[in-house]
Amino acid sequence: MPIIDSHAHIYSDDDRRYPPIARPLRPPKGTGTVAHLDRERKGAGVRHVLAVQTTTFYGWDNRFLVDSVRANADWMAGICTLDPDDPHSPDLLAQYAQGHNVRGLRSYQAADGRLDHPGVVGLWEAARRSHLVVNVRINRDKAAELAALLKRFPNLMVVLDHCMYIAAGPNYARTLGDVLDLAQHPNLYAKLSFLPTGSAQAYPFEDMHDACHRIIAAYGPERCLWGSAFPCELWCPRTTYAQQIRLFSHGLGLDARTRDAVLGQTAHRLYFQRTSNPSSTTKGTR
């Protein structure tokens, strides 16, 4: 099974054509471009990449993402991000799902702080109709609201981005506990991208290994997937792109079945088979 990177952020070097937001979070010069990502993924043996809309640079403007994934459809697909407080967002999501190589929605809470909000629900419903995967970006304070939405949308596949940002420190055990509790929902998948960002140690981030193993055990390998948070120079500067893959292929001691699922099979089933219910083949434990 080819390796699939389920979480990369891309940046244009043409601010005139694709203007950033005020005070954008900008990667170091020469990094984060599509060309840079292409070099990194080829060098590491990655077949496909899911490009996630870079909200900290472009806000809700998905034009660069959409243009990039259409132009590079042989190896890249898109996950867009839309404003849940904008009533036009569900229609725009439906447009992106038709012929634009967008395979998912990254879901944010509404402006009032709620995840279980009519605007969010409207986007999730639009994603369900278009057979898109929802990727949800939350901290642990929204765990209960996420659980309510998962029950309301049992046939919608949802990916928990960065596992609610598990990190070494005083909230480590509580955040991990919430992630494990959410495994009871069979339509929720865990994105194991928190090791380099949450660790207090250098590579190979051994203080995050137990959390990773426990999440895989709770969700099952068929509901776990890897993402790089490219560009590493901005989001996880203590590691390289290739090191992240080696962490899952060798450093964590995963068996072959688990390794193949996390590094490619799960993401392939979710984003590239284009089925309406990828969980129908899931065998992992809750």
Residues 188-206 pLDDT 10s? 999 999 999 999 999 999 9
Per-domain residue ranges for the chain? 3-273
pLDDT at 273: 86
Of the options 3.40.630.10, 3.40.50.10440, 3.20.20.140, 3.30.160.270, the CATH number for the domain spanning 3-273: 3.20.20.140
Q: How confident is the model at residue 283 (pLDDT cuts 50, 70, 90)?
A: very low
Residues 125-136 pLDDT 10s: 999 999 999 999
Q: Please say if the pLDDT value at position 285 is more than 90.
A: no
Number of Cβ within a 10 Å radius of residue 213? 14
Q: Is 3 helix (H, G, I), strand (E, B) or coil?
A: strand
pLDDT score of 279 more than 60? no
**Confidence (pLDDT) at 99:** 86
Q: Is the pLDDT of residue 138 over 60?
A: yes
Q: Given a cut of 90, is residue 33 above it in pLDDT?
A: yes
What is each CA distance from 200 to 58, 168, 205, 247, in whole angstroms?
30, 6, 7, 16
pLDDT digits (tens, 9 = 90+) for 211-252: 999 999 999 999 999 999 999 999 999 999 999 999 999 999
Residue 274: the pLDDT is 58
For 198-237, the DSSP string reads H-SSSTT-GGGHHHHHHHHHHH-GGGEE----B-HHHH-T
| pTM of the complete model beyond 0.85 | yes
